[in-house]
Chains A and B, each alone.
Chain A
């Protein structure tokens, strides 16, 4: 289920993503603040599982409360939990199945699983392939160990429905072309990225032009025209027919006169490009940013098959497709019927991208649907029999605490939680390592066959981070208010 969060200013957010909900809440209690940080860390590390990690941490803390009542010292509990976390990683790795990045099917399944809990889950048929293709295009499959998600740009536009979301092998800009009669569609485009200003000369110091004579005013206007015409002519000479202009902090980036000239020469203009986007654009188009007129040479231009302005809903975007240079960037144009759905779709795609990124980092899959947690719980309980003393108690408590995930999954699905979890436990004890809760059918099935899978990194990271946070909370015995 989702939560609706209202900010004091009245902005509303509807979301299912744990990290987002926690970030918006104003938490006062210090231990709760640590859990918020925990979910942020899981977001950074794995991207998904932000809710699970907080739920696991909460359940572990619950278990420690019971152990403390029994009189076990907190640092003993902390040590035992650490030991249990390390054992869990071993067990999880034993359960996992390795994955090759060329196996598109499995990648699609994990992306779909990540999207399953979100509002946009019925569109997972469209969104999962987009996420998988985006990541595949951005990395080098043979050598990549990490993915820079900044190479995938997500642009949101209200209008249409989530079904209209598309992956663009090229680039999309949120800005529209500046009117003034310039072309809206250019084929065989040569794109120049300009970092200087096409406007009348202005020094960095304040300047004034002082004239003593009326006739001189005319001369000034003519000189301005000449100057700008010069600049535009040189641009045209290099063969450029699409111009991307960076926003300038020093002065007006483009003058109307310049726009008029450019339009007459049939050059399409897109202005107000942010400075941070420059690197992304260069990577995608294979052009070099041009900071002064003397650098405006044909080698610095990018090439594309088609640049056009497209109407999307009530506003326009500029799409560049068929880029000659095989850049390692992609853009995703996300559509949605209203702002809230759009934002949630954006977050969901981000989660799906992170899931694929996890698979690139650690190429192993594990079954979903609560199966890993129950398996862990069972194996840890078995292992605890070989331990002595307090450690055995703590291990068992850890194992029991992990069952909260399948319990919650069953509850949220409307099934009878206790009978579901006990049946699940039974199946695992009989050796069915991949039995999990199938929420659509409402029973326990072999979840691997249902293609509900998640990256190994999400589960291991969740267990490790939760155990570490619980350890640090355990070691606290006093809250001091400082000045």
Chain B
């Protein structure tokens, strides 16, 4: 058969087949993995992300998902990994780097196996068995302290410390771990992270951050308003209070005497007065508006002793509504139907150079605010991201209370279980399972590498310890040796670990199954006919 070299696809489309496709997938995935590797673990490093547009803003971050989100990749396999880490971020919050690195290591192992002429389907079958075994081993090793509040709180603090240990907050991680556990325990299991607000203010050091049990709004009170209100009934609105304009363009009033114009002016003022009166009839003593409150209504409110706050930003208003239990209204005709928010005390506080409003004793007692201070804007942004990660993990753990040991202990445990199973399995699947175990062992190796220790030595020691039955041994990065993790207190959430293993295996499987990449032709633009 002579190949006629005909183009089956449209002009401009490209196709890569079998070996080439696979090679380009591997290259893409491995490149991403190598990029992210150096951020893993307590001695992991950060990256600067410099935006390409004119503003040239910079971000400093350690979080895998953030880095991957910011890079533009062409390679389709790399895009799959970026998505993977994004999903991990949305689902669980932490482990975004681990999942990408694990998938990359699996694919690296697969590349070798393909070179040995093992069929991809065999590799996938072996991986599936290995994943099941690893999951079983992980489940068996999980500890559940859900019934013991003392131990559970200690678990939470340990998990928070572990999550924060690879980020910029690592120096003050004890302080911040307590802070985040405090915040999450206040939620009392609702898992609604919107109730925890994070405010960033430049100045001071990270140590000056604190947890405030009220809700802080970044706004000032109007002039001549009472500066402090107790037992506040709050009405939140989204209405314009400067001028009641008819929104029909070109509307016009025609009169024949100036006195009539004066009358109209008075009528407009009366309308505003009525509106304010209606608002006051709601029996509120605090009125928060998303838009402007102009002078006249402001004065009327001051006369009635109602505190009026204007220009509250949308997000702040939504949170405030959630936290005080009120609704956002736009019309004021039915006072009975409107739910007012409640809080015990509203007063003005000063942070750095700005004045903020503090709402304490709110109806949703679970609300709290974390105020972050830091030396530069980048430090503040990164602290917020880290704290958010920790809070996500903690709220997950509150629901699913099982925990496992960190510091490479679980990975080594799973790897050993898989190796044992492989030894008993006949057929080429066993080779694939061996590769899976090797990939799992890479994770602690990378952590040790990032710390600058002799990874080969440490990993072999760890493996030997696990085989002897000391299944709680892990890597101690402070001293560079193998130690008992239960005593070091390095704990991770079971949910996070499980999600990492499952997602990474799935993604690697999917990329491995690909043997053809077809790139569609770019859409032809109709030629412009313009003079």
Residue with the greatest number of chain A CB neighbours at <10 A, chosen from B49, B299, B374:
B299
Q: With contacts A203-B268, A289-B299, A477-B47 known, is A44 near B352, CB below 8 A? A: yes
- Cβ proximity bits B63-77 to A, threshold 8 Å, 1 near / 0 not: 000010011100000
| A201 & B251 in contact (Cβ 8 Å cutoff) | no
Q: What is the chain A residue whose CB lies nearest that of B294?
A: A291
| B452 & A73 in contact (Cβ 8 Å cutoff) | yes
Question: Quick one: which of A142-157 are within 8 Å of B by CB?
Answer: 146, 148-149
Q: What is the chain B residue whose CB lies nearest that of A289?
A: B223
Which 5 A-B pairs rank lowest in CB-CB distance, beginning with the nearest?
A37-B376, A44-B203, A477-B45, A482-B70, A223-B258
Query: B89 an interface residue at 8 Å Cβ cutoff?
Result: no
In whole Å, how far is A208's beta carbon from the nearest beta carbon of chain B? 5
Could you list some 14 contacts between A and B, CB below 8 A? A38-B375, A146-B350, A207-B254, A219-B257, A223-B258, A223-B259, A227-B262, A468-B206, A468-B375, A469-B376, A476-B60, A477-B46, A479-B47, A483-B51
Q: A204 to B243, alpha carbons, bound, how many Å?
A: 7
Q: A40 to B46, alpha carbons, bound, how many Å?
A: 23
- Cβ proximity bits B252-268 to A, threshold 8 Å, 1 near / 0 not: 11111111111011001
| A206 & B251 in contact (Cβ 8 Å cutoff) | yes
Residues of A within 8 A of B51 (CB): 482-483
| A30 & B379 in contact (Cβ 8 Å cutoff) | no
| A208 & B253 in contact (Cβ 8 Å cutoff) | yes
Which of the segments A182-190, A209-217, A302-310, A370-378 contacts the partner chain?
A: A209-217
Residues of A within 8 A of B223 (CB): 278-279, 282, 289
In whole Å, how far is A48's beta carbon from the nearest beta carbon of chain B? 14
Q: A211 to B258, alpha carbons, bound, how many Å?
A: 10
In whole Å, how far is A219's beta carbon from the nearest beta carbon of chain B? 7
Chain A interface size, as a band, is 35 or more
In whole Å, how far is A299's beta carbon from the nearest beta carbon of chain B? 12
| A479 & B253 in contact (Cβ 8 Å cutoff) | no
Question: Quick one: which of B257-283 are within 8 Å of A by CB?
Answer: 257-262, 264-265, 268-269
Residues of B within 8 A of A468 (CB): 205-206, 374-375, 379
| B62 & A475 in contact (Cβ 8 Å cutoff) | yes
Q: A200 to B257, alpha carbons, bound, how many Å?
A: 12
In whole Å, how far is A186's beta carbon from the nearest beta carbon of chain B? 24
| A482 & B376 in contact (Cβ 8 Å cutoff) | no
Q: What is the chain A residue whose CB lies nearest that of B59?
A: A482
In whole Å, how far is B512's beta carbon from the nearest beta carbon of chain A? 27
| A44 & B202 in contact (Cβ 8 Å cutoff) | yes
Query: B377 an interface residue at 8 Å Cβ cutoff?
Result: yes
Known A-B contacts: A196-B295, A203-B265. Give 11 more (CB < 8 A): A41-B202, A79-B171, A148-B355, A209-B256, A209-B261, A210-B254, A292-B269, A292-B299, A471-B168, A479-B47, A479-B50
| A483 & B376 in contact (Cβ 8 Å cutoff) | no
Interface residues of B, count at CB 8 A: 69
Query: A34 an interface residue at 8 Å Cβ cutoff?
Result: yes
* A residues apposed to B, CB below 8 Å: 28, 30-31, 33-34, 37-38, 40-41, 44-45, 73-75, 78-79, 82, 146, 148-149, 195-196, 200-212, 216, 219-220, 223-224, 227, 246, 250, 278-279, 282, 288-292, 295, 461, 464-466, 468-469, 471-472, 475-483
Q: Quick one: which of B202, B204, B255, B452 contacts A209, CB cutoff 8 A?
A: B255
| B47 & A289 in contact (Cβ 8 Å cutoff) | no
Q: A202 to B253, alpha carbons, bound, how many Å?
A: 11
Q: With contacts A216-B256, A291-B296, A476-B48 known, is A204 near B245, CB below 8 A? A: yes
Question: Quick one: which of B42-100 are within 8 Å of A by CB?
Answer: 43, 45-52, 56, 58, 60, 62, 67, 70-72
Q: What is the chain B residue whose CB lies nearest that of A354?
A: B353
Residues of A within 8 A of B60 (CB): 34, 472, 475-476
Query: B429 an interface residue at 8 Å Cβ cutoff?
Result: no
| B379 & A469 in contact (Cβ 8 Å cutoff) | yes
Q: Quick one: which of B70, B261, B353, B376 contacts A201, CB cutoff 8 A?
A: B261
In whole Å, how far is A350's beta carbon from the nearest beta carbon of chain B? 12
Residues of B within 8 A of A295 (CB): 299, 303
Query: B451 an interface residue at 8 Å Cβ cutoff?
Result: yes
Query: B224 an interface residue at 8 Å Cβ cutoff?
Result: yes
| B268 & A41 in contact (Cβ 8 Å cutoff) | no
In whole Å, how far is B120's beta carbon from the nearest beta carbon of chain A? 32
